[in-house]
Structure 1
Amino acid sequence: MKEQKPKGGKRAPEGPNAPEGGWGWMVVAGCFLATICIRAVTRCVSMFFVEFQMHFEKDYSTTAWIHSLIDSTTMLCAPLGSFLGNRLSCRVTVMLGGLLSSAGLVLSSFASSVEFLYISLGVITGLGFALSFTPAIAIVGKYFVERKALAYGIALSGSGIGTFLLAPAVQLLIEHYSWRGALLILGGIVSNLCVCGALMRPLEDMEVQKTKPSSRCQNFCLKTREYFGFILIPSFLILSVSFLFLAYGCSSPVVYLVPYALSVGVDHQHAAFLMSTFGVSGIVGNITFGWITDRKCLKKYRMACYMVAIAMEGLCCMFFPFLHSFSLLVLLSSLYGYFDGAYVALMPVVTSDTVGSSYLTSALGVVYFLHGIPYLLSPPIGGWLVDQTGTYMTTFFLSGASFMLSSSVLAAAVFFRYVLKMCERTNGKKQCTPPVNVSDFLSFFPKRKK
């Protein structure tokens, strides 16, 4: 059954002969394991925050650069992962990234200074994660069209499940083997990215498609257009601005959740449990939002669901500094994690809806690249604010405001485009009087023309 073309533009061309299952579920499993090794491990680096601070006797902002570097390097180098994924294959690129990131974690266990960790944990491990992350996510979109949101929901739930399992495990590893032994063991866990990459078998039609540009495009500009022709699409530019605010907001709360809990009297094991709660509720958000937004009645409202998830996460973030009991922190961590899982699952989906699946690998590289600078600056700025004010309130409020701005940018764009579309429907009438049509308003974002 052919899908009806949305008003205001043709639907973006989807992946060639997407099988909608079969080996695609093994690819989903590979991406699921990859997100455990990448995003869950990155989140659990915050468990080392206090250990690094005490061992090297550094302040909040200096120590925060470690986490910000690993996150920002992963995102800033995402286009490199996209490029290698297009030129080599997603399988090879993910395996290369696994070897590099594992080596970085092993080297970090021998660190003699914070500066050493900046390079080994921040740059080397981050670069390895960058090579693995984007291709692992992009290849899922090549195997699914109709069930794309559900496939991404399952695949990206690895981040939440990994956080749920690894957070208490890392705390125990630190207690029994010190932070050096814990990093060494994490290096072994991350080496499983090589196994994940082995599952990511390319579609044959995709391989044929990749060989064509090299035979007919010897000019660099033509090759660039082949990979990055989506960048000037107006809706993608708007989405990009929203991503910048989003990236600033989502980094600091994860870094400072455990230190904040410790500062209000929560013990180490319970603070680790907050990270586990955050992770397991993220799983629910991943899968439920993925399943719900794949329903026919809600497919055209994916962007609206994405905006709501971001706005709700911002509100949760602003409430953190008002809570001082462990039970309330657990409740808010659950809500925060749920909406975090929701937007994470929908991010590649709304990107694919905007640029088309043929550009998805390159587009995700750009999307995650845009996260790089905010990820680099957010934790140190948050740490500096804690150092200056002595509280976490300003740090959490600034992150929450960034979430709200991200959602507001998209909402403003939705309203503006809605007004223009209604004006076009007046068929030349002098006044522009948009009818009250909630369905048209919420299903705003245009699909990329063929």
Structure 2
Amino acid sequence: MVQPQRSLHAAPPDGGWGWMIVAGCFFVTVCTRAVTRCISIFFVEFQTYFAQEYARTAWIHSIADCATMACAPLGSLVSNHLSCQVGIILGGLLASAGLILSSFATSLEYLYLTLGALTGLGFALCFTPAIAMVGKYFNQRKALAYGIAMSGSGIGTFILAPVVQLLIEEYSWRGALLILGGFVLNLCVCGALMRPITLKEELLSTPALLKPGYASEAPKPDLKRSYTCAPLIRNCSHKSLCYCSRQEYSFFLMPDFIVLALSFLFLAYGCSPPFVYLVPYALRAGVSHQEAAFLMSILGVMGIVGNVTFGWLTDRRFLKKYRNVCYLIAVGLDGISCLILPFLWSFPLLVPFSVTFGYFDGAYVALIPVVTADVVGTAFLSSALGLVFFLHSVPYLLSPPIAGWLVDTTGSYTAAFLLSGFSMIFCSALLCVSKLVKKMKKTPKTLSATNIDPKQQIWTNGTVAYSITGEWDQKDT
């Protein structure tokens, strides 16, 4: 395989071809996240056709979400060591094959394998590399770029939800899945747009040497390390591979990243059941099928508004320092919306829920890559997003079946939605407490630093420590 031409930049271009990357990522989220959300529209059809209970049917959506997130590190690996283009095109082919094969399903177990595992694997190879590419092309307008790119999930849901319902009515669920399989092939076109780029920060953060495939547009850094992590190295020793892997995931033990990763577990558990069970809950409340699909459309369009407005606002100078605060506020308000949902039993009351939940869902989804990049840096963003989405996999796998079991056991959706709401509120509270503790620890250090004789200060950088007392003495002399 021929290595694609890569441009070397001193900093993210913040425009140019980057807007084509945003457009490609936008359509990737339409074909992945929006299609995954629309699986919930098939929920009642599958349950009726195969005559199964809630919990067993919910495994289809769970496995699809879990496979997408669990295989996210694989998407990062393919992107880092082959190319983003290869990963997305391969993922598009696998996802399309999964949807097309699902149209011939004869049992739920068959759907677990095709619509769940195979389609989810294809989405994983597409989603993570596309998100990471936007972070490489943008810095100053990163939140806005992510807001536009991630709004594909909302726009796709808004358009696809009623279209999928119409396709089911006209061609049955089998025909609808077959048409979706053809639609998802557009991921291959999106992959072709992903022009590779290498930042100077990446070369300085990871031991990489410039290869002939790089077209330099910035001064080459002075790199004196003996190991190489450049993609597609033909003769790469075992020691070099181990060193490269350790460098790629060196951020894993950072305290800030550990807390952020732990919060994602609770966030992922809380956000999934409302998307899976909103349509069945609305149908039980006496809402028509078209109105229930319209509720999903409202979720989608408000997600668009949340993506773009929060992306634009958090790029403003007065809010740029408070991205983490905006993120935890959005997550907390989404959790509160879930707590109110069990008390809404008519279409006019469910519309405000769809508006509120959709808006804040779009808000925090747009900020997840931004907050992650603020913690680990742009150089490690692809690997970090792979781990972040991997952490979503287990909650995505377990939360819909657990919610289904609660519905089967209690006969209502109240317990399922309350558990989702409290899980998201706990995620927000965990980040808030972590931020307060970090601030409290930082204050005493600042106070003590002002009381220390500057000639006696010891500065540390990793394992190297040195005193500047001598420099002060020379200046006095």
Fold-level similarity (TM above 0.5): yes
Given the alignment of the two structures, is residue 381 of structure 1 paired with residue 402 of structure 2, yes or no?
yes
Q: State how far apart, in whole Å, the 1-side matches of 2:164 and 2:377 are.
A: 39
Aligned to 1:171: 165
C-alpha separation in 2, matches of 1:79 and 1:68: 18
Could you say which residue in structure 1 is the equivalent of 2:335?
A: 314
Matches within 5 A, 1:230-379: 230-379=251-400
User: What does residue range 429-444 of structure 1 map to in structure 2 within 5 Å?
Assistant: none
Residue 159 of structure 1 pairs with residue 153 of structure 2: yes
1:47 — aligned with what?
A: 41
Q: Distance in 2 between matches of 1:140 and 1:340?
A: 20
Partner of 1:400: 421
Q: Indicate conservation of the 8 Å contact 1:109/1:180, yes or no.
A: yes
CA distance in 2, matches of 1:110, 1:162: 25
2:432 aligned partner: 411
The 5 A counterparts of 1:128-207 are: 128-203=122-197
Question: Paired residue for 1:213, among 229, 235, 240?
Answer: 229
Q: Residues 85 and 191 of structure 2 are in contact (CA less than 8 Å); yes or no, is this contact kept in structure 1? A: yes
Per-residue deviation at 1:377?
Answer: 0.1
Change (3 A) 1:412 1:204: closer
- Offset of 1:336 from its aligned partner? 0.3
* Alignment partner, residue 19 of structure 1: 13
Distance 1:335 1:41 in 2: 21
Amino acid at match of 1:192: N
Give the superposition deviation at 1:81: 0.3
CA offset digits 1:3-34 (Å, max 9, x no partner): xxxxxxxxxxx984311101000000000000
- Aligned-pair CA distance for 1:157: 0.1
Answer yes or no: is the 8 Å Cα contact 1:245–1:402 preserved in 2: yes
| 114, 120, 125: which one aligns with 2:114 | 120
> Residue 231 of structure 1 aligns to a residue in which SS?
coil
Cα distance in 1 for residues equivalent to 2:124 and 2:450: 52
Q: Kindly state the Cα deviation for residue 226 of structure 1 after the two structures are TM-superposed.
A: 2.2
Partner residue, 1:444? none
Instruction: Show the counterpart of 2:472.
Output: none
In 2, are the aligned partners of 1:77 and 1:131 still within 8 Å (CA)?
Answer: yes
Shift of 1:152: 0.1
Identity, in percent, stands at 62
Q: Which ranges in structure 2 are unaligned for 5 or more consecutive residues?
A: 1-7, 212-227, 452-477
Cα separation, 1, equivalents of 2:332 and 2:167: 36
1:36 equivalent in structure 2: 30
| Counterpart position of 1:105 | 99
Q: Are residues 16 and 399 of structure 1, via their aligned partners in 2, closer, same or farther at CA, if it must alter by over 3 Å? A: farther
Q: Distance in 2 between matches of 1:104 and 1:404?
A: 35
Tell me, in whole angstroms, the C-alpha distance in 2 between the residues paired with 1:129 and 1:67.
13
Which amino acid is 1:42 matched to? T
Which deviates the most, 94-103 or 198-207? 198-207
Match of 1:420 among 419, 430, 441: 441
Check whether the contact 1:15–1:358 (CA below 8 A) recurs between aligned residues. no
Indicate yes or no: 2:110 matched with 1:89.
no
Q: What is the alpha-carbon distance in structure 2 between the residues aligned to residue 34 and residue 381 of structure 1?
A: 29
CA deviation vs aligned residue, 1:281-303 (integer Å, no higher than 9, x gap) = 00000000000000111111000
Query: CA separation in 2, counterparts of 1:78 and 1:204?
Result: 21
Aligned residues: 418
Does structure 2 conserve the Cα–Cα contact (< 8 Å) formed by 1:16 and 1:205? yes
| Partners of 1:97 and 1:131 within 8 A in 2 | yes
Task: Tell me the distance in 2 between the aligned counterparts of 1:95 and 1:266.
Answer: 40
What is the distance in 2 between the residues matched to 1:401 and 1:230?
Answer: 29
Do 1:15 and 1:141's aligned partners in 2 also have CA atoms closer than 8 Å?
Answer: no
Paired amino acid for 2:372? T
Computing the radius of gyration from Cα coordinates, the structure with the larger value is 2
Are 1:15 and 1:142, in contact at CA under 8 Å, matched by a contact in 2?
no
**Structure 1 residue matching 2:229: 3-state secondary structure:** helix
User: Superposition RMSD on alpha carbons, in Å?
Assistant: 1.8
**Secondary structure of 2:287's aligned partner:** coil
Please tell me whether the aligned partners of residues 9 and 197 of structure 2 are also in contact (alpha carbons under 8 angstroms).
Answer: no
**Which amino acid in the other structure matches residue 398 of structure 2?**
L
The letter for the 2-side match of 1:319 is I
Q: Which moved more, 1:380-389 or 1:204-213?
A: 204-213
Kept in 2: contact 1:217–1:223 (CA 8 A): no
Q: Residue 69 of structure 1 corresponds to which residue in structure 2?
A: 63
Q: Which amino acid aligns with 1:306?
A: Y
Q: Is the 8 A contact 2:12 2:199 kept in 1?
A: no
Distance 1:314 1:426 in 2: 38
How far is the alpha carbon of 1:213 from its aligned partner?
1.5
1:221 Cα deviation from its structure 2 partner: 2.4
- Letter of the aligned partner of 1:385 in structure 2? L
Cα offset for 1:135?
Answer: 0.1
